[in-house]
């Protein structure tokens, strides 16, 4: 059984296809930890994956109109290590065999290099 880290940009176009892949992996006995934003928590947990949220302050993909919509994006672009460190803190102590990421996910190379694991880009070819 493999431990898999899924990194996805939280948009319907990215999450839905990779969610189907995660469900298939879980059905085959794999353990999946899935990073996304809170809006996708329920569908991620419903397939049996462990959900990990992006920090509210650093969520580069935050679409909440009440908050500054660009603050997370600016931090992610200008200070990517804050964004990456937040993920690293949440997965501290966890071991992964590899990571799968959506095409729009910006920091998969850095995160997988820090973890010392291989990465695979998921592409939904229709």
Answer yes or no: is 46 within a domain: yes
Where do we find the tokens 């949220």?
Answer: 53
Answer yes or no: is 33 within a domain: yes
Tens-binned pLDDT, residue by residue, of the chain (126 aa): 999 999 988 778 888 889 999 999 999 999 999 998 888 999 999 999 999 998 765 455 555 545 544 455 555 566 777 778 888 999 999 999 999 998 878 889 999 999 999 999 988 665
Answer yes or no: is 54 within a domain: yes
Helix (H) / strand (E) containing 5 = strand 3-7
Tell me if the pTM is above 0.75: yes
Please state the domain count of the chain: 1
Answer yes or no: is 86 within a domain: yes
How far is it, in rounded angstroms, from Cα 15 to Cα 87?
A: 18
Q: How many CB atoms lie within 10 A of CB 114?
A: 14
pLDDT digits (tens, 9 = 90+) for 28-52: 999 999 998 888 999 999 999 999 9
CATH code of residue 91: 3.40.50.2000
Answer yes or no: is 17 within a domain: yes
pLDDT recorded at residue 83 = 78
- Domain of residue 58, residue span: 3-121
- How far, rounded to the nearest angstrom, does the alpha carbon of residue 63 sit from its chain's CA centroid? 16
Answer yes or no: is 126 within a domain: no
């Amino acid at each position: 059984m493999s431990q898999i880290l899924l990194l996805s940009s939280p948009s319907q176009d990215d999450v839905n296809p990779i969610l189907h892949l995660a469900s298939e992996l879980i059905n085959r006995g794999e353990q999946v930890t899935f990073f996304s934003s809170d809006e996708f928590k329920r569908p991620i947990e419903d397939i049996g994956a462990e959900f990990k949220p992006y920090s509210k302050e650093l969520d580069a993909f935050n679409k909440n109109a009440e908050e500054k919509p660009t603050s997370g994006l600016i931090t992610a672009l200008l200070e990517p290590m804050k964004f990456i460190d937040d993920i690293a803190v949440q997965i501290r102590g966890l071991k992964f065999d590899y990571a799968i990421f959506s095409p729009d996910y910006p920091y998969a190379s850095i995160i997988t290099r820090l973890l010392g694991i291989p990465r695979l880009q998921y592409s939904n070819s229709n």
